[in-house]
Structures are given as structure tokens and as C-alpha cells.
């Protein structure tokens, strides 16, 4: 029976064309969504599809600055870029221009290569949230993922460079009629010619600076690293951006080594940001305090009307930092506040006492985690602060604890909440099925959710949690953080896990014998401990098993949640799955980090009609990159356990011959010989029904399934 088209297709063709023309400019990806709603809309959107594709591909462009800086090379780079835009007719599609060296947008340190010049990326890359980070694109969320760079990657002011070097950039800026943003991440110097061009020819364009205070210059002399300290003065700081009307956002890095340097840096920073009349976003790479108000009247009385304030450092955050900035920032206009550093114990209490007010706040990110368990008073202060702000659309609480009741959170923020993130919780904290139901009922508009689940719980509890997640009608993006809990913690309630109960639990060092363990499993596992507990081989086995998530299991988790979605609800677009044991000591954290794999799972359309879809999983942060070469060989205390869980399979057939058709990486891996990672991927688990050990009556054979709490091995099921 043919699908009945929605009544909205009866809109006149002229009205639909007005809608698509607007979407091509503001949200070109929405044109494709509109075209897929019905055959009528598909016909109406035909004229807008190609402009939408062009608008996406040329939305962001990047200009690379070569080193050494030669005017002829730089002119050639910009000329090639202009030719690409001219050939595609893409001048009117460009919205954002990045000026940077390639290595400043990549994690590797590399010199300039012509092959890395910007070229129009393919559409599938831009629309893929997992691959878009390779391009500085709108869909890659550039501002939401600030780049972390070492101080040596910020170059000294280019005193030897003339303004003529940047004339090609000036010419390009002038011929982009719809330019909205210029992101400058190249050096500490903002050329005056570009500043003048923005003010004169592109007044609507917003300037975004990534600025770093250089107080320490490192030079190489005869193979030795020699440090040379320069006193900070106004002469060696670029101040041309001070008072710039086009400056919209700035990210500040500080590297002062002495108290005097920090004071001068903060004063220069304050002088610059207050002088920018249209500054809306301030990002601080360090938790820098604002300087005291000077007695002289060199600063204006009016406060900054910021919309976003970010403290990006993960170091501890003192209560006086935000209080000091309140003298210069009008918090009544602040819409986004994100603090990545761990809040000190008295921060929230002092904020409540000072009655800091954020009447316009819409997005809040706090880190309330700690290496030691907090007191109940701290979480009471956190509750009070979270209820003092208006209902939010985005809320992120790292280090969440169940003493901050989810019921109270959704009662206050739920009706407006679009994004909720509770990942990286405090030890022994995870979201239960009942709390998922509370989120579903209290947050009807929630589209993105990040929650911690107990990986060590039973198969039925996990399955019920998946079904509860699937009941959320508008949920489209889901982040699942599995918490691998240590032994003896499975049956202890979250509320009872206070500092006192943890200490009482560790006292006496009770034996960790398990009647289900065999002789090998009951043996002590080297120096592996949790608190004062000596773990046994069987405990380590369970931690390894619970840490492993393979591609098939990741896809099955996505499918179960997607199938549970109610009719007429938003489709589940993507699920990001990760596993953590970082809250339970170095040994457990190492085991989990070594054997776990993070996955990005999504639906992919099998054909252009979009009627057939299949689920794919892409590995995020591969273990080889995270673990490094030091993990190519397993430590002696864990290798016997690994070999027992994943016995090496006898080779089938003659050894593989090297071929010229093999890629360089494959040849290197083959010549280097197999590692334990290769064995993990190809081995049959010892608890599998296909394993010889399970068929010999050892009591460890069991069927692995989605709800088993163990790895699901695609080659077995």
C-alpha cells in the first residue's frame, strides 16, 4: 500500500521555493531532509538540490600560510584557491575563511605540503559527524572542539613580514560577497591591512582570533635548548586588534612564568577585551583570574556584554576566578558558560553566597568530579546552583553523582532541555532504567543524551535500559559511557558509596575468593590491586571481558534501541559507545583502556531512494593510537590471563606471501609479526561454544548475545 503523503505537500509551489531558497543559505543540509519527506517535495526541491550541495562544499575554506613565508609562494596558494572557487562559481557560497598553517589544524607536526591545500571536500565527508573533523567545516563543530596546542606552535610576532605578504588574502576577502566569519589561527600578529579591509569592505564579517601571549622564547644553540626570558611590554605584544569592531570571539593563551608576567598579561588581556565593542565570546586556555580593578580610570565603566564564556583548562577551578570576572562582564547577557576544570569544594557554596545571577543562561557545562569522594554538602550546593539558573536548553555535568537527583533536574530544566550530558560520572555512579524513564517523561524535546550505564550489571537490566532509551521520541544522538565497576561493588547502592563507606569497605582487606573460580582464577594476579584488595586472575578476567566491545555488539546495541523507537518519532541517527574504568585506580583503568574500543554507530542509506538502510560502526580512537608502542607487548602479570581467554588458533594453510598489491602499512604489519591485538581480533574466545576449552566441560561455555554483558563476536554468532 503506497505511503500517504503529509498534508503539508499541498503548499503552493511558490511557497516551497521560498522555503528552499532560505534553506540553501541558512541550512543547506535541510534541503535534502525536505526532499525525502515525499515525492511531491522531492520534485519541488529539484531546483535547490545542486545549490545546496555547492553551499555545503564551499561553506568553509582554508588558506595555508607556508613556512618560510615567501610572498611568491603565498600568492600562488591564494591564486589556486581563487581559481577553484571561480571554476565552481563558489564565491557566493563561502561563509567562513580559516587562515592557518596545516599543522595547526592537525594533530601531527608537519611542514607545509602543497597536497594539503584546501580542496572542496566530498559531500559525504562533510555530512559525517565522525569524519568532518578532518575539515574545518560548519558540520565539524570547530568552536565546540577547541584545539589544544603547545606554546611552541604559536609563532613569535612576524616583525620581519611586511603587509604586502597578506595582500592576496585582502583581495580574496574583498570578492567574497557573503563572508560571515574570518578565523585567524596563524600567529599572534593580525595584519593591519586585513583589519582595515574587514572594517571597510566586510563590516558584517566577524573576526575570531586564537591569540597567545609569548613571554618565553626558546632557541636552539649548538644542539642545546637555551631559554631566554623577555620582559613583557606593550611593544612585543600585538595590540592592533584592540578596539576592533569586527572582533567577535577570541581565544587567549597565557604562558607567564612569574607573578610579574602573569599580572602584565592579565592587564593586557583585560585592556584588549574591554576595548572590543562587539566581542561576544571569550575563551581562556588557562583558568586566569581577572586583575583587580585599577585605581586609575583607564578602563571603561560599561561591562562586557558577552554571550559565551569558556574556561578550557582542566585544572582545578577556584571560586574567585568567576567572581573576579564579574567585575568586567555583565552576566545578565551571558547565554553560554562552560568550565572544564574541576570545581573546588567551596566554589558552588561561594557562588550561592555571592548570589551570582545568570538570567539569560541557556547552556551550562560544569565539572563537579573529584579524585576523592565529595561530601553531601557539596552536592547540596550544586543542586542549589543548578536551580538558581533559568531552565536550560543544554546541560553538561561531568562528575555527576546520584545525590544530584535526576528527578529534580528534569523538573526544573526538562521542558526546555535539548541536550543532556552526564558522562564521566563520579565513581560507582550510573543511570538506572527508572531514571531513564524520568528523563523521557520530563524532557519531551530532548534530542541528544549522554549517560553512563553499568557494564557490570546483569543481561536483563542492560536490555531494559536499552528499551527505555528507545522510548524517547525525539532522541536522535546518544552517547553511552559504560562503567566497568571493580569487584565487591556490584551489590552496593550508589547512595551508600560515601568516603566513610569506601574506607570501611577497604579496611580489613577481606578475601576475594569466588566459589565459581577454578584453581587458576583463584591465584593472585601479580601486584594488581583495587584499594587494599589483592585481585585474583578471575577478577582480571571479568574486567577484560566487560571492557571488550566489538563491532557486532555495537551495531546490535544501536539496532535494539532503534527498533524500540515508537511510531512517528524521530529516527535514531547515531550512537557513540565508549567504556571507562578510570575511577577505580590505575590498574583497572589500564586494563579497561587497553582492551576497550570506542564506536560511532549510525545508519547509512543503501541507495538514493533512502528506503533501505543498514547499520555501520566506525572505530573511534583506535587502540593502537591510544595505547602507543608500549602496549605492543603485554605485561607478564596479564599475559597468561589473556592467552587463556583468547588461545592462539592454529594457522590454516601455508604462510601468507607478501605481495606488491599490499599497502605499505599492511606489509610493515606483516613483516613485524603478529601482536596480541591481531590475536584478539582473530581469536575465538575461550568461553565461546566454538572454543575447544568450552567443549571439554570446563563450565565456561556460554552463548554470547547482545544482553549478555560480554563481548559479542561477529564471527561466532
pLDDT in tens, 96-108: 888 876 554 443 4
Do the beta carbons of residue 592 and residue 581 sit within 8 Å?
Answer: yes
Indicate the DSSP class of residue 261. H
What residue spans define the domains of the chain?
A: 7-53
What pLDDT is stored for residue 648 in this prediction? 73
Tell me the C-alpha distance between 151 and 149, whole Å: 6
The pLDDT confidence band at residue 419, using thresholds 50, 70 and 90, is very high
Q: Is the pLDDT confidence value at 269 over 60?
A: yes
Between residues 82 and 682, the one the model is more confident about: 82
Tell me the C-alpha distance between 276 and 164, whole Å: 26
What pLDDT is stored for residue 684 in this prediction? 54
Residue 478's beta-bridge partner residues?
Answer: 449, 575
Tell me the C-alpha distance between 444 and 272, whole Å: 43
Between residues 400 and 54, the one the model is more confident about: 400
Tell me the C-alpha distance between 687 and 187, whole Å: 57
Tell me the C-alpha distance between 268 and 563, whole Å: 57
N-terminal to C-terminal alpha carbon distance within the chain = 35
What pLDDT is stored for residue 701 in this prediction? 33
The pLDDT confidence band at residue 152, using thresholds 50, 70 and 90, is low
Q: Is the pLDDT confidence value at 577 over 90?
A: yes
Q: Is the pLDDT confidence value at 245 over 70?
A: yes
Between CA 536 and CA 547, with CA 541 as vertex, the angle to 5 degrees is 130
Residues shown for the chain? 717
By percentage, how much of the chain surpasses pLDDT 90?
26
For residue 477, count CB atoms less than 10 angstroms from its CB and return exposed for 0-12, middle for 13-18, buried for 19 or more: middle
What pLDDT is stored for residue 478 in this prediction? 96
Q: Supply the DSSP string of 29-47, one letter for each residue.
A: HHHHHHHTS-HHHHHHTHH
pLDDT in tens, 533-554: 788 888 888 899 889 898 999 9
Which helix (H) or strand (E) element contains residue 282?
strand 281-284
pLDDT in tens, 114-130: 555 677 766 665 555 44
383: helix, strand or coil: helix
Name the pTM for this structure. 0.80
Q: Where are the alpha helices (DSSP H) in 295-405?
A: 319-325, 347-354, 376-388
**Rg of the Cα atoms in the chain:** 28
Indicate the DSSP class of residue 651. P
Between CA 468 and CA 473, with CA 470 as vertex, the angle to 5 degrees is 110
Count of CB atoms situated within 10 Å of the CB of 123: 15
C-alpha distances in Å from residue 504, one per residue of 190, 275, 361, 497:
59, 57, 42, 10
Please give the mean pLDDT across all residues of the chain: 75
Which helix (H) or strand (E) element contains residue 219?
strand 216-221
Amino acid at each position: 500500500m503506497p505511503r500517504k503523503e503529509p498534508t503539508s505537500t499541498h503548499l503552493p509551489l511558490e511557497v516551497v521555493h521560498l522555503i528552499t531558497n532560505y534553506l540553501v543559505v541558512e541550512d543547506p543540509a535541510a534541503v535534502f531532509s525536505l526532499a525525502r519527506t515525499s515525492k511531491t517535495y522531492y520534485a519541488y526541491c529539484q531546483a535547490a538540490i545542486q545549490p545546496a550541495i555547492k553551499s555545503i562544499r564551499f561553506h568553509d575554506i582554508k588558506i595555508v600560510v607556508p613556512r618560510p613565508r615567501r610572498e611568491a609562494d603565498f600568492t600562488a596558494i591564494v591564486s589556486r584557491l581563487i581559481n577553484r572557487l571561480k571554476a565552481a562559481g563558489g564565491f557566493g557560497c563561502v561563509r567562513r575563511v580559516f587562515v592557518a598553517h596545516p599543522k595547526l589544524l592537525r594533530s601531527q607536526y608537519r611542514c607545509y605540503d602543497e597536497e594539503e591545500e584546501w580542496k572542496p571536500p566530498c559531500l559525504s565527508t562533510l555530512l559525517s559527524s565522525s569524519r568532518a573533523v578532518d575539515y574545518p567545516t560548519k558540520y565539524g563543530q570547530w568552536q565546540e572542539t577547541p584545539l589544544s596546542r603547545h606554546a611552541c606552535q604559536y609563532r613569535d610576532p612576524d616583525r620581519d613580514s611586511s603587509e604586502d605578504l597578506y595582500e592576496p588574502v585582502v583581495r580574496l576577502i574583498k570578492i567574497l560577497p557573503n563572508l560571515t566569519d574570518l578565523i585567524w589561527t596563524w600567529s599572534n600578529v593580525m595584519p593591519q591591512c586585513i583589519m582595515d579591509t574587514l572594517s571597510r569592505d566586510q563590516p558584517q564579517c566577524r573576526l575570531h582570533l586564537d591569540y597567545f601571549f609569548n613571554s618565553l622564547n626558546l632557541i636552539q644553540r649548538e644542539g642545546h635548548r637555551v631559554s631566554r626570558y623577555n620582559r613583557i611590554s606593550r611593544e612585543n605584544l600585538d595590540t592592533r586588534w584592540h578596539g576592533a569592531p569586527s572582533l567577535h570571539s577570541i581565544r587567549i593563551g597565557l604562558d607567564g612564568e612569574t607573578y610579574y608576567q602573569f599580572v602584565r598579561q592579565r592587564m593586557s588581556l583585560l585592556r584588549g577585551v574591554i576595548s572590543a565593542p562587539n566581542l561576544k565570546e571569550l575563551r581562556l586556555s588557562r583558568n586566569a583570574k581577572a586583575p583587580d580593578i585599577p585605581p586609575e580610570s583607564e578602563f571603561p565603566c560599561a561591562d562586557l556584554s558577552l554571550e559565551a564564556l569558556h574556561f578550557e583548562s582542566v585544572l582545578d577551578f577556584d571560586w574567585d576566578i568567576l567572581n573576579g570576572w564579574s567585575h568586567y562582564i555583565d552576566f545578565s547577557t551571558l547565554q553560554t558558560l562552560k568550565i572544564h576544570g574541576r570545581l573546588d569544594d567551596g566554589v558552588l557554596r561561594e557562588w550561592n553566597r555571592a548570589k551570582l545571577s545568570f538570567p539569560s543562561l541557556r547552556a551550562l557545562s560544569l565539572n563537579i568530579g573529584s579524585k576523592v569522594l565529595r561530601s553531601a554538602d557539596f552536592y547540596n550546593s550544586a543542586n542549589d546552583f543548578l536551580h538558581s539558573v533559568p531552565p536550560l536548553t543544554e546541560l553538561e555535568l561531568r562528575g555527576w553523582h546520584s545525590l544530584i537527583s535526576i528527578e529534580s533536574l528534569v523538573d526544573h530544566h526538562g521542558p526546555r532541555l535539548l541536550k543532556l550530558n552526564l558522562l564521566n560520572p563520579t565513581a560507582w555512579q550510573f543511570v538506572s532504567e527508572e531514571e531513564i524513564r524520568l528523563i523521557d517523561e520530563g524532557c519531551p524535546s530532548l534530542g541528544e543524551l549522554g549517560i553512563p550505564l553499568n557494564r557490570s550489571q546483569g543481561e536483563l537490566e542492560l536490555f531494559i535500559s536499552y528499551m527505555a532509551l528507545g522510548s524517547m521520541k525525539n532522541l536522535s544522538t546518544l552517547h553511552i559511557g559504560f562503567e566497568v565497576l571493580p569487584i565487591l561493588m556490584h551489590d552496593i547502592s550508589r547512595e551508600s558509596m560515601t568516603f566513610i563507606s569506601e574506607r570501611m569497605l577497604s579496611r580489613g582487606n577481606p578475601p576475594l575468593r569466588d566459589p565459581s573460580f577454578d584453581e587458576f582464577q583463584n591465584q593472585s594476579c601479580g601486584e594488581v590491586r583495587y584499594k587494599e584488595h589483592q585481585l585474583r586472575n578471575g577478577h582480571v578476567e571479568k574486567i577484560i571481558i566487560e571492557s571488550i566491545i566489538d563491532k557486532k555488539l555495537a551495531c546490535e546495541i544501536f539496532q535494539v534501541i532503534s527498533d524500540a523507537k515508537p511510531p512517528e518519532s524521530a529516527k535514531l541517527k547515531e550512537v557513540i559507545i565508549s567504556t571507562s574504568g578510570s575511577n577505580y585506580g590505575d590498574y583497572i583503568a589500564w586494563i579497561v583502556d587497553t582492551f576497550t574500543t570506542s564506536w560511532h554507530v549510525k545508519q547509512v542509506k543503501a541507495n538514493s531512494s533512502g528506503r533501505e538502510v543498514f547499520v555501520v560502526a566506525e572505530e573511534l580512537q583506535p587502540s593502537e593510537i591510544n595505547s602507543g608502542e608500549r602496549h605492543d607487548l603485554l605485561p607478564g602479570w596479564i599475559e597468561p590471563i589473556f592467552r587463556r581467554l583468547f588461545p592462539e588458533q592454529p594457522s590454516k594453510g601455508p604462510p601468507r606471501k607478501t605481495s606488491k598489491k599490499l599497502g605499505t602499512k599492511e606489509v610493515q604489519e606483516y613483516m613485524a609479526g603478529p601482536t596480541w591485538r591481531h590475536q584478539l581480533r582473530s581469536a575465538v574466545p575461550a568461553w565461546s561454544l566454538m572454543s575447544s576449552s568450552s567443549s571439554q566441560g570446563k563450565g565456561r561455555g556460554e552463548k554470547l548475545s547482545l544482553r549478555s554483558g560480554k563481548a559479542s563476536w561477529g564471527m561466532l554468532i
